[in-house]
Structure 1
Amino acid sequence: MRHLSRTGRRSLALTAATLLSLGLGTATATQARAAPTAEVEIIDGYTRTVRESAGIAVECPAYQVLIGRAHSGDENGNTTYYCGFILIYGELVHVSPPTWSASQRESNSFFAAAPHRALVGRVHSGDENGQTRYATASMTWQGRSVTLTSYRWTPGQRESSSHSRAGAGEVMTGRQHNGDENGQTFYQYARVSLD
């Protein structure tokens, strides 16, 4: 295992993650970890597009957290959610079951996950006067809590043509929106840490 290329290690970790998320196998630390080339790596995973107003709850599958979101048009337009796997020293980070927030009106919404929790889902129903909820989860690696640092908010962008993705080593932790589809949307991201 020490002689696997970076691509080989990534493939091994993703294969293990896929099997685990499907309930088809287990992976020990030895099987999932090879010689590290990076401390923290986030790999694209599940992507889903839904009609924004439809009230469809989107949750990242097992072992994944939100790393981006895009929306086009008004409330009848499409919203795409991007999830990703987190690897620390090539080993998959465990993500807890989700906890859902209370509902809030979308047109004046602000949500930031509790410290060291990442977003793992969202649901919205109706137009800008409809209700939005968020799902968050905690993360562990080798039984230790994963922490988040360097929290930051993005500049605002018009919701009707918005697209935002986490930077290297980051996960999504919050979102704010003002007004209708012509209003501004902001995203909060934080860096995964081994503290």
Structure 2
Amino acid sequence: MFKKYLPAALAAAAVATLTLAPAAPAAAVAEPTIEVVAGKTSVLKQSNSKFSCPTNEVLIGREHRGDENGDTTFHCGRIYIDGIQVTVLKLDFWGTRTDENDHDYHAPENRAIVGIRHDGDENGDTIYYSGSLFWQGKPVQVLAGYLEGWLRENNHASIGGAQQVMTGRKHQGDENGWTQYEYGWVSFRG
């Protein structure tokens, strides 16, 4: 009779022990390391210009000197998560057309600006192109940006901070008017 109850008693004791033992702490998930590294820099005349960042790069800054015939410098950057470069998918073939001397452009959610085209003089159109970001096949987020303070268009330089990419630009007036940039933070939630 003792043999019959012993396995049941052992099983009950084992269940009681498991129930009372504290659970092992869950392994902490490490936050990914995100880096935005300077990439290609190009200088073009503003009037009738078309600029696009190289493959897998996005805009991280812009500067301009002079009037509509002056030089515009575009700063691109590469994004790395845990040392592996982010892929930029450029499907915005037609871009978003704006009136250069009065516009407020913001890239669609979770996208960064990858190119800018300007047709004509200071009264022409500016077209923005955006790209979606992916890391190892998973979407990368671009968190809500902030608008930088107003800068005089004819003599300024602006580059985003750490982990930031350009997501918008606002401009009022001609080449002597004011420009404001929007930068968003790169984030990856897995």
Q: TM-score band, normalised by the shorter chain?
A: 0.7 to 0.9
Alpha-carbon displacement from aligned partner over 1:73-93 (angstroms, at most 9, x marks no partner) = 100100000001000000000
Matched residues in 1 for 2:65 and 2:151: separation? 12
| 1:138 paired residue number | 132
Deviation at 1:98, TM superposition (A): 4.3
Matched residues in 2 for 1:108 and 1:49: separation? 23
In structure 1, list runs of 5 or more residues that go unmatched: 1-35
Q: Which residues in structure 2 correspond to 1:1-195 (within 5 Å)?
A: 39-53=33-47, 55-99=48-92, 100-195=94-189
Alpha-carbon displacement from aligned partner over 1:102-147 (angstroms, at most 9, x marks no partner) = 3221000111000100000001122221011011000000111000
Matched residues in 2 for 1:142 and 1:166: separation? 25
Question: How many residues are treated as equivalent by the alignment?
Answer: 159
Contact 1:37 1:89 in 2 (8 A): no
| 1:8 paired residue number | none
Matched residues in 2 for 1:122 and 1:173: separation? 12
- Asked which structure has the greater CA Rg, the reply is 2
Matched residues in 2 for 1:107 and 1:127: separation? 10
Matched residues in 1 for 2:84 and 2:177: separation? 40
Secondary structure of 2:96's partner?
coil
Deviation at 1:56, TM superposition (A): 2.3
Deviation at 1:150, TM superposition (A): 3.9
TM-score normalised by the chain length of structure 1? 0.78
In structure 2, list runs of 5 or more residues that go unmatched: 1-29
AA paired with 1:87?
Y
TM-score normalised by the chain length of structure 2? 0.80
